């Protein structure tokens, strides 16, 4: 029997005038602006300029400024910042954190992208009208921290992290280094300087 929701024939061309821009490219351009200027520091005027698209087209494609920011943020997490999730596949907790901080040093000082972490910087402070975005970024940071806690608990079970280690504290310590490095990067710290910071923080790894 034929499926009523059969969409296999949707190879047919869409009905009206085709979009004149590549939506992924536009989203990446928006990401770069939000990443370097923050949420409130980015104006719709600057976005139209950077995307090469007029405002009504942006609103038709992405909703509004806040929605565009959310989609840009999702792209940031899945794209340039994906290493933060991937490092958890390292075999030991120590290797996870080493890989995390060293890659962060590279990432934050990459001259082809804005300096520092978008999730840390995009709305640390903001006006009354943007507290929703501010809290969403806080929630992102909290979730990342919790994922490190879970990884450390796993490491304790697997035996590569001492039982007496406080996973919450260790995760908060690692997150703090990461966030501090982000501030340093946006203040002009070089790759070498960031690597030296990461090295120093890693000297501090708990042992039996």
CA distance 116 to 120: 8
Segment lying near a copy of itself (by CB under 8 A), choices 7-15, 17-25, 32-40, 50-58: 32-40
> Residue 204 binds which entry of DNA, a copy of itself, none, with Cβ cut-offs from 5 to 8 Å by kind?
a copy of itself
> Residue 21 binds which entry of a copy of itself, DNA, none, with Cβ cut-offs from 5 to 8 Å by kind?
DNA
- Taking CB under 8 A as the criterion, the residue among 46, 136, 153, 160 binding a copy of itself is 46
- Taking CB under 7 A as the criterion, the residue among 59, 134, 138, 191 binding DNA is 59
Is residue 159 involved in binding DNA (CB under 7 A)?
no
DSSP3 helix / strand / coil % (the chain, rounded to 5): 65, 0, 35
- Taking CB under 7 A as the criterion, the residue among 25, 49, 60, 158 binding DNA is 60
- For residue 70, the minimal CB distance to DNA (Å) is 12
Is residue 80 involved in binding a copy of itself (CB under 8 A)?
no
CA distance 23 to 205: 44
Segment lying near DNA (by CB under 7 A), choices 2-10, 51-59, 149-157, 161-169: 51-59
CA distance 7 to 58: 27
DSSP assignment of 105-127 equals HHHHT-TTS-SS-HHHHTTSS--
Q: Is the distance from CB of 106 to CB of 192 less than 8 angstroms?
A: no
CA distance 59 to 106: 35
Is residue 37 involved in binding a copy of itself (CB under 8 A)?
yes
Is residue 61 involved in binding DNA (CB under 7 A)?
yes
CA distance 153 to 200: 24
Q: What is the number of other CB atoms lying within 10 angstroms of the CB of residue 80?
A: 20
- At residue 188, φ and ψ (nearest 5 deg) are 105, 5
Binding site for a copy of itself (CB under 8 A): 36-38, 40-43, 46, 116, 120-122, 124-128, 130, 138, 141-142, 166, 169-170, 172-173, 175-184, 186-189, 193, 196-197, 200-201, 203-204
Binding site for DNA (CB under 7 A): 12-21, 40, 42-45, 53-57, 59-61, 64-66, 127
């Amino acid at each position: 029997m034929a499926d009523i929701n059969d969409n296999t024939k949707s190879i047919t061309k869409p009905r009206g005038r085709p979009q004149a821009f590549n939506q992924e490219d536009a989203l990446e351009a928006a990401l770069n602006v939000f990443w370097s200027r923050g949420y409130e520091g980015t104006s719709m005027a600057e976005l139209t300029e950077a995307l090469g698209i007029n405002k009504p087209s942006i609103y038709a494609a992405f909703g509004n400024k806040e929605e565009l920011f959310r989609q840009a943020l999702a792209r940031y997490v899945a794209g340039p910042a994906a290493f933060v999730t991937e490092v958890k596949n390292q075999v030991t907790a120590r290797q996870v954190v080493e890989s995390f901080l060293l890659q962060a040093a590279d990432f934050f000082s990459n001259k082809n992208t804005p300096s520092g972490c978008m999730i840390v910087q995009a709305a640390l402070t903001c006006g009354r009208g943007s507290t929703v975005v501010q809290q969403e970024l806080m929630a992102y940071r909290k979730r990342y921290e919790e994922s490190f806690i879970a990884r450390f608990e796993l490491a304790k079970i697997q035996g590569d992290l001492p039982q007496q280690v406080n996973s919450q504290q260790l995760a908060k310590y690692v997150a703090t280094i990461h966030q501090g490095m982000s501030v340093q990067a946006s203040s002009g710290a070089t790759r070498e300087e960031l690597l030296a910071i990461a090295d120093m923080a890693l000297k501090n790894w708990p042992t039996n």
